[in-house]
Amino acid sequence: MLLTEIDHVAIAVKDLEAAIDYYRRAFGAEVEHREIVESDGVEEALLKVAESYVQLLTPTNENSPVAKSIEKRGEGLHHIGYRVENCAVALQAMIDAGAIALDKAPRPGSRGTTVAFIHPKSSFGTLIELVQE
């Protein structure tokens, strides 16, 4: 079994401050980590839930994949991050199982992670991010 944890559930939002405030008022959730990842055109706020995170994501420019997603599909669930021991091994296992890799090789994600994305069309409509801590 290559999956060790649900790393994060990513939710695309237009207004990051409003979303953070909503989670704070509703659940008392606090931001554990915040980061702008320019290479992906996103700003994230991570809310820790046990050993996983809710990742609130907002675009930082109009060419961001998250901007496109909000434009075409509206706000909401954007992808799921599966935590794995070894991203390269899990990526190859997914390719062998028929997945279409959006990243041909593992690359840097936020908070020092190593990640790779899988196309939703090859994974039952779910954009998957493999995350190695």
Which residue's Cβ lies closest to ligand MC0? 109
- Pick between residue 8 and residue 23 the one whose CB is nearest to ligand MC0: 8
Minimum distance of ligand MC0 from residue 5's CB (angstroms): 14
Tell me if 16 contacts ligand MC0 by CB under 6 A: no
127 counts as binding ligand MC0 under rule CB under 6 A: yes
Contact 44, 115 (CB under 8 A): no
Could you say which residues in the range 23-82 bind ligand MC0, by CB under 6 A? 37, 40, 42, 44, 57, 65-66, 68-69, 72-73, 78-79, 81
Sheet arrangement for strand 128-132: 31-37, 42-49, 52-59, 3-12, 76-84, 128-132, 114-118, 107-108
- Joined together, the tokens standing for residue 101 give 């890799």
Output the CA–CA distances (angstroms, integers) from residue 77 to 13, 34, 40, 70, 93, in the order listed.
Answer: 9, 19, 17, 10, 25
Alpha helices in 1-133 (DSSP H): 16-27, 65-73, 87-96
Q: Report how many helices (DSSP H) and strands (DSSP E) the chain contains, helices first.
A: 3, 8
Binding mask 81-100 for ligand MC0 (x = CB under 6 A): x-------------------
Closer to ligand MC0 by CB, 2 or 100: give it: 100
Which two tokens mark 44? 């994230």
Binding site for ligand MC0 (CB under 6 A): 10, 37, 40, 42, 44, 57, 65-66, 68-69, 72-73, 78-79, 81, 102, 109-110, 113, 115, 117, 119-121, 125, 127, 129
